[in-house]
Structure 1
């Protein structure tokens, strides 16, 4: 129970469905005095008290479990390390993968519970053979199946999402008000929970020593300098501070972040187009394809609120690596290494991979650092 309206209603529905329910709030911050500011942040003291009030109304036991040490290692430290490596991580994916449906579920199973219930907007269905599948929620506008794409078959078997079939968030808020929950109109949290002020660059600057470097165009010409490459991400337009205008007068965007040479590569918006993505860390959400090495039709989604795009995917094996390769029907824009690509079959979540290789859809005459134009470059976003 995060202290929000969704988890409170999910807990109440689980009780009414006949389950024996215990409310658990995860203490993830090592600063117990932290207070929420509007819709920024979560897992604060205020959130814990909101969760307890909801549990009291429902009439279920309530506990606070301290997972702050594991959260720091698996989510916060991973976030810093990924940015330092020139990648753009998704901490919500890591939290679901390592904390809510791993550490929390493991402890719950050890204590004799059958499942973890959350307020995520997603659904679980059972196929003709009895296998459980993860699907999108009924309300696609609030669908959160993307951030659950990291769940494995075993985790799905021990998960419940009571809000999945709810037509809208407005209906959940109305139900919360009817139940007397004080969180009925509480704002949804957004941004990164451990950076509540939203200043990712400033937060990272306190943890990764900034080092000045060059800003280059795709041909390797120096356009300017940056104060530290760690906070740049592929697709970024603002904050480049390039004095020299582009020849066509159009704005430039970050195409690559190269931590080894400490350079940032920029170029026109058209150069953000990517025709192929791949990752060697991939998992299947439920039953895996029978022959994943054979190319299959699917849809791919690369951000939580992005539209799914028709694509072809397959597992490719060679002497050096085994990876999930995805070729969209049309080029994707602004794909950054470290992002997660979630693969769908209709409404079903089939699996995911962390993107570590992309292929540009726009050839260039020369690319610095020894790469060849239009070829796959591990860790490259252009």
Structure 2
């Protein structure tokens, strides 16, 4: 229990028994342990789950958060802990703000990140309103990031365990939201979280982590986009930068910038990669890897958490990429050395060491001078 109490520092003023914590529960092991940590503080704890699919679909869906089985698992955990659990139907807003946006982004030749859009909409904005309506002192989630109190207030930092860090997906968190949010797992490795779940007798202790995009549990996102937007199946040409036709494709939704596999072209003098997608001509433009080199990216919808920070920064342009030295020049992220595979639609997230300074959506890229072969 001592380990549980140490891990469960919710940064709330005493007495904790007079406090109320709302926990966002997806039905997985992470949010379930957060609920246990919250309950262990002595504060009144309420579990809240958003149902993000219509009821009939949710009951039969497996392997994705906030679906039928996951709602049952969240309720079972709350029963085990002796805390209240509420389910709110947000299927309509999830479809319009996340799923439809996902399909439209692919049609526009961009590579979307639906997890960020979900955090910006149903998971944070909607949950915030619910938590405040319930009179909560904070909203706790199972994200692997850290909330650190700095000189100018709450700061967002990378997780202690770099393999689990989710800060890239939370760059759009606002300062006001950060004041209200708590991330109890940010300083813990995942094995310890599972150990706590087993120690507490939670039935989800051995439950596998969710894979891929939650609303595409089989990983076949192209089929989902085709179902929502039949025009996404429009065929077109695969061309090199001179316009020479090298092959044909089955739809832009099957490609993203930096992709090498699945091009099915012949006669190229060296391995070719996707350089850009043209939704107007339906062309996939390909070329050698050196043509992917980008010196800067213009970003939109910038969310800044860095206060008056003016020191060195790094930028991360893909969820699995490592942050690289860069600088922010207005709405442009300028890389110290050419960066590869920078795709419009993705996010550029800025860091100062472990601290998240903010970020924005990549709108377009500036190509570096072609490097020698």
Same fold (TM over 0.5): yes
| Separation in 1, partners of 2:296, 2:137 | 40
Distance apart, 1:69 and its partner CA? 0.5
| Separation in 2, partners of 1:165, 1:149 | 18
2:349 matches 1:327: no
| Separation in 1, partners of 2:298, 2:345 | 11
2:292 matches 1:272: yes
* Structure 1 consecutive aligned stretches of length 4 or more whose deviation exceeds 6 Å: none
| Separation in 1, partners of 2:86, 2:357 | 34
| Separation in 1, partners of 2:324, 2:264 | 33
Does structure 2 conserve the Cα–Cα contact (< 8 Å) formed by 1:204 and 1:231? no
Paired residue for 1:299, among 311, 314, 317? 314
Q: Secondary structure at the match of 1:356?
A: strand
2:284 matches 1:284: no
Distance apart, 1:114 and its partner CA? 2.6
Distance apart, 1:361 and its partner CA? 2.0
Paired residue for 1:14, among 38, 42, 49? 38
2:227 matches 1:220: no
Structure 1: any 5+ residue segments left out of the alignment?
316-323, 365-382
Distance apart, 1:42 and its partner CA? 2.3
TM value normalised by structure 2: 0.88
Q: How does 1:61-210 map to 2 (within 5 A)?
A: 61-129=84-152, 131-166=153-188, 168-208=189-229, 209=231, 210=233
Structure 2: any 5+ residue segments left out of the alignment?
1-24
The equivalent residue for 2:7 is none
TM value normalised by structure 1: 0.86
| Separation in 2, partners of 1:305, 1:56 | 37
Q: Which structure's residues are more often helix, by fraction?
A: 2
Q: Secondary structure at the match of 1:334?
A: coil
| Separation in 2, partners of 1:18, 1:307 | 39
| Separation in 2, partners of 1:100, 1:199 | 24
| Separation in 2, partners of 1:303, 1:179 | 36
RMSD: 1.6
Q: Secondary structure at the match of 1:163?
A: coil
2:58 matches 1:32: yes
Does structure 2 conserve the Cα–Cα contact (< 8 Å) formed by 1:24 and 1:65? yes
| Separation in 1, partners of 2:368, 2:44 | 53
Does structure 1 conserve the Cα–Cα contact (< 8 Å) formed by 2:326 and 2:336? yes
Does structure 2 conserve the Cα–Cα contact (< 8 Å) formed by 1:55 and 1:61? yes
Does structure 2 conserve the Cα–Cα contact (< 8 Å) formed by 1:296 and 1:313? no
| Separation in 1, partners of 2:176, 2:220 | 37
